[in-house]
Amino acid sequence: MLIEHTKPCSRFIGSLHLIPGINKVDDKRWDEMTKKGSIWSDPIKDLIALEVLKVSDPRTKPTVALVEKTYDVDLLEEWLVEAKGPLKGALKKQIKAMEIEEGL
């Protein structure tokens, strides 16, 4: 499951840590957190309604626009394995930017 956190800050929802941009969350974990009766269900619904969180279809394929909003190097490298053409270049560029940022 891809969850976009639209704010420029980190956010914890229980033990789930979301960074700004695109986050990969285990489908089963997300389903547990959002099911009726979960203590996180209503807060998550509120964050989605406020567009703080945007939930993508689990089958969403990476695009250049998606890559530009992703700051998780592990996720970028996962996408790079099957990437071709302009997507591959965008992934390499974003990974390099993240590595430079970490070095500061």
Estimate to the nearest angstrom the gap between the alpha carbon of 100 and the chain centroid: 20
Using one digit for the tens of pLDDT, what is the confidence trace for 9-64?
999 999 999 999 999 999 999 999 999 999 999 999 999 999 999 999 878 899 99
Confidence label for 65 from pLDDT (cuts 50, 70 and 90): very high
Overall domain count for the chain: 2
Looking at the structure, do residues 13 and 40 belong to the same domain, yes or no? yes
Looking at the structure, do residues 28 and 48 belong to the same domain, yes or no? yes
Instruction: With a cut of 80, say whether residue 87 has pLDDT above it.
Output: yes
Q: What is the pLDDT of residue 103?
A: 65
Instruction: With a cut of 80, say whether residue 90 has pLDDT above it.
Output: yes
Q: What is the pLDDT of residue 99?
A: 86
Looking at the structure, do residues 22 and 44 belong to the same domain, yes or no? yes
Looking at the structure, do residues 46 and 5 belong to the same domain, yes or no? yes
Residues spanned by the domain of 96: 61-104
